[in-house]
C-alpha cells in the first residue's frame, strides 16, 4: 500500500490541478506546465528547472513539422490555391451531390493532414468549403458538424498525426509505418460522416455560383506547382532523407514566390497562428517529464495492466476521448501512452493509430471542444452545442471503430502490412465512387 500511495497522490494532484486550471480558462499549455511543477514539488524536487527545459524539447521534431507545415498552409492559402481547388471541385461535381459531399470532406481534411491540427483545418479549408456545403443544401448545423469532424479526421490522417507522434515519443517508437493504418481508420470514417450528415439535402438554388471562380489553365498550373513540388519531395524523401520541415519550407518558398507575397510576412503570420499548438506540445512534454520523474507513468501502466481486458478496452474507448476535452494532445500523453503499453503485443502500430483516433475525438468533447467551437464560428452558429449534437452519431461510430481496431489489431495489422492493402483500398474507393456516380445519375433523372 505504501509503495503505491505516493504515486497515486502525485497523479491526483497533477490531474486535479490540470483540470482545475483548465476549467478556469487558464491556457492549456500553462495548465500543463503548472501541473508538472506541482508534480515535481510534491515528489521532492523543489527546483525542477532542468527537467522542465528537458521536457519542453521532448517534441521538438513534431514542433518543427507543425511550424513549417503552418507556413506552407498559409503560403498556399495566400496564393489562392485553396479557393481555386474548392471552386474547381464544386464546378466539376456540382451535378453529383453525393460525390461532391465526399470530395468536400476530403478537401476539409487536407489542412489537418498537413498541419496535424483540427483547428487549422476548420479555420482554413473548412471556412473555404462552407459556401460549397451551403450550395449543396446543408444548414448551418450539419455543415458545421461536417467541418468539425472532417477537421478531426484530417488531423488523424497521414502524413502528420500528432497524437501518434506523442505516443511514439513516449515509448521510443519512431513515426514509421503509420500511413496505412491511419488511412484505414480516417478516410472511411470521414466518408461515412459526410454522407450521414449530408443525407436528404437538396441543392440550394438561391445561392448563385461565383462567375469569377474559374481561372485560366496557366494560372491554375502556377497555383498547383507548390503542392506538386511538396508531393514530389515527399516521394523523394524515401530515397534521400530531407525531412518534413525542409520539404515544407522549400514548397512554401515556391508558393510565396509564385504568389508575389513576402515569405517573411507569411511565415510571421503562420507562426503566430501556430503558437497555441506549439505551446501545448511544450506543456505536454513537461507534464510527461514530471510523470516519469515521480513514477506516475509506471503507476498508471501497472494499474491498467491489472484490469480485465474488457475493462481496459472500455476504459480506452471512453476515457481517452473524455480526457481529450481538456486537450487531445494531453489525452494522448497522459492516458494514450499508458493504455498503449497495456495493449503491447497485439500490433503496436495499429494500436497506436486506434488510440490516436480516440484521442482526436477530444476536440469535440465539451467544454473546450475546439473543433466544434471554431466550426460554429465559421458557420456563424451562436450555440455550438447544436453542432456537437449533430456530430454525435459520427462521434460514437468512431469510438466503436477505435475499440474494435484495438481488439482485432493483429488481424488489421496483417491486412495493412500485406502487399494487397493499397490495391484493395484504392479499388474499394474507386468502386465506391462508381456507386455514388450511379446513385447521383438516378437522382438527377428523378429531378432530385
What pTM, to 2 d.p., does this model score? 0.84
Query: By percentage, how much of the chain surpasses pLDDT 90?
Result: 40
The secondary element (H helix, E strand) that includes residue 83 is helix 81-93
Inside any domain, residue 433: no
pLDDT band at 220 (very low <50, low <70, confident <90, very high): confident
Inside any domain, residue 189: yes
CB atoms within 10 A of CB 197: 24
Inside any domain, residue 431: no
- Quote the pLDDT of residue 172: 85
Inside any domain, residue 380: yes
- Quote the pLDDT of residue 214: 54
- Quote the pLDDT of residue 156: 94
Burial 281-290 (b: 16+ CB within 10 A, else e): bbbbbbbbbb
Find which of 42-46, 64-68, 106-110, 217-221 is predicted with most confidence, using mean pLDDT: 106-110
pLDDT (mean) for 312-320: 89
Inside any domain, residue 196: yes
> Is the pLDDT assigned to residue 326 strictly greater than 80?
no
> Is the pLDDT assigned to residue 223 strictly greater than 50?
yes
Inside any domain, residue 132: yes
Interatomic CA distance for residues 128 and 135, integer angstroms:
13
Inside any domain, residue 33: yes
pLDDT band at 179 (very low <50, low <70, confident <90, very high): very high
Interatomic CA distance for residues 119 and 166, integer angstroms:
18
- Quote the pLDDT of residue 153: 96
pLDDT band at 216 (very low <50, low <70, confident <90, very high): low
What total of structural domains would you count in the chain? 1
Structural domain containing residue 328: 5-417
pLDDT (mean) for 231-241: 85
Inside any domain, residue 437: no
Helix (H, G, I), strand (E, B) or coil at 229: helix
Interatomic CA distance for residues 188 and 416, integer angstroms:
14
Residue 242, burial from CB neighbour count under 10 angstroms (0-12, 13-18, 19+) = middle
pLDDT (mean) for 423-448: 87
Q: Which residues contact 143 (CB under 8 A, 6 or more apart)?
A: 130, 133, 134, 379
| Locus of grid cell 456563424 | 380
- Quote the pLDDT of residue 444: 75
Query: By percentage, how much of the chain surpasses pLDDT 70?
Result: 94
In 3D, which of 6, 14, 4 has the Cα closest to residue 330? 14
pLDDT band at 2 (very low <50, low <70, confident <90, very high): very low
pLDDT band at 117 (very low <50, low <70, confident <90, very high): confident
Residue 15, burial from CB neighbour count under 10 angstroms (0-12, 13-18, 19+) = middle
Find which of 36-40, 270-274, 309-313, 340-344 is predicted with most confidence, using mean pLDDT: 36-40
Amino acid at each position: 500500500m505504501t509503495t503505491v500511495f505516493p504515486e497515486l497522490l502525485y497523479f491526483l494532484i497533477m490531474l486535479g490541478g490540470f483540470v482545475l486550471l483548465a476549467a478556469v480558462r487558464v491556457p492549456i499549455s500553462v495548465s500543463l506546465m503548472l501541473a508538472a511543477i506541482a508534480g515535481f514539488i510534491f515528489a521532492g524536487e523543489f527546483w525542477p528547472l532542468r527537467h522542465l527545459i528537458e521536457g519542453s524539447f521532448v517534441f521538438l521534431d513534431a514542433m518543427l513539422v507543425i511550424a513549417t507545415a503552418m507556413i506552407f498552409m498559409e503560403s498556399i492559402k495566400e496564393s489562392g490555391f485553396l479557393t481555386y481547388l474548392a471552386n474547381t471541385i464544386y464546378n466539376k461535381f456540382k451535378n453529383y451531390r453525393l460525390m461532391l459531399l465526399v470530395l468536400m470532406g476530403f478537401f476539409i481534411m487536407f489542412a489537418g493532414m498537413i498541419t496535424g491540427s483540427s483547428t487549422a483545418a476548420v479555420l482554413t479549408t473548412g471556412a473555404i468549403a462552407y459556401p460549397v456545403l451551403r450550395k449543396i443544401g446543408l444548414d448551418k448545423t450539419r455543415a458545421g458538424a461536417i467541418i468539425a469532424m472532417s477537421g478531426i479526421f484530417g488531423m488523424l490522417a497521414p502524413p502528420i498525426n500528432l497524437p501518434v507522434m506523442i505516443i511514439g515519443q513516449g515509448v521510443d517508437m519512431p513515426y514509421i509505418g503509420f500511413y496505412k493504418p491511419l488511412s484505414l481508420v480516417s478516410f472511411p470514417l470521414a466518408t461515412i460522416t459526410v454522407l450521414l450528415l449530408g443525407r436528404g439535402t437538396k441543392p440550394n438554388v438561391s445561392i448563385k455560383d461565383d462567375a469569377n471562380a474559374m481561372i485560366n489553365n496557366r494560372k491554375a498550373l502556377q497555383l498547383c506547382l507548390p503542392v506538386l513540388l511538396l508531393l514530389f519531395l515527399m516521394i523523394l524523401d524515401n530515397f534521400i532523407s530531407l525531412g518534413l520541415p525542409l520539404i515544407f519550407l522549400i514548397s512554401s518558398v515556391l508558393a510565396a514566390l509564385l504568389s508575389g507575397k513576402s515569405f517573411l510576412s507569411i511565415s510571421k503570420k503562420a507562426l503566430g497562428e501556430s503558437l497555441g499548438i506549439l505551446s501545448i506540445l511544450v506543456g505536454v512534454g513537461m507534464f510527461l517529464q514530471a510523470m516519469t520523474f515521480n513514477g506516475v507513468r509506471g503507476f498508471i501502466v501497472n494499474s491498467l495492466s491489472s484490469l480485465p481486458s474488457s475493462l481496459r478496452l472500455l476504459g480506452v474507448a471512453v476515457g481517452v476521448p473524455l480526457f481529450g476535452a481538456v486537450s487531445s494532445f494531453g489525452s494522448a500523453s497522459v492516458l494514450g501512452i499508458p493504455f498503449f503499453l497495456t495493449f503491447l503485443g497485439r500490433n503496436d502500430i495499429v494500436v497506436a493509430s486506434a488510440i490516436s483516433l480516440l484521442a482526436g475525438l477530444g476536440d469535440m468533447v465539451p467544454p473546450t471542444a475546439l473543433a466544434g467551437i471554431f466550426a460554429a464560428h465559421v458557420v456563424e452558429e451562436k450555440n455550438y452545442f447544436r453542432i456537437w449534437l449533430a456530430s454525435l452519431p459520427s462521434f460514437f461510430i468512431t469510438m466503436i471503430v477505435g475499440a474494435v481496431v484495438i481488439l482485432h489489431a493483429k488481424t488489421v495489422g496483417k491486412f495493412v502490412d500485406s502487399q494487397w492493402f493499397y490495391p484493395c483500398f484504392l479499388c474499394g474507393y474507386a468502386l465506391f465512387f462508381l456507386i455514388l456516380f450511379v446513385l447521383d445519375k438516378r437522382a438527377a433523372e428523378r429531378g432530385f
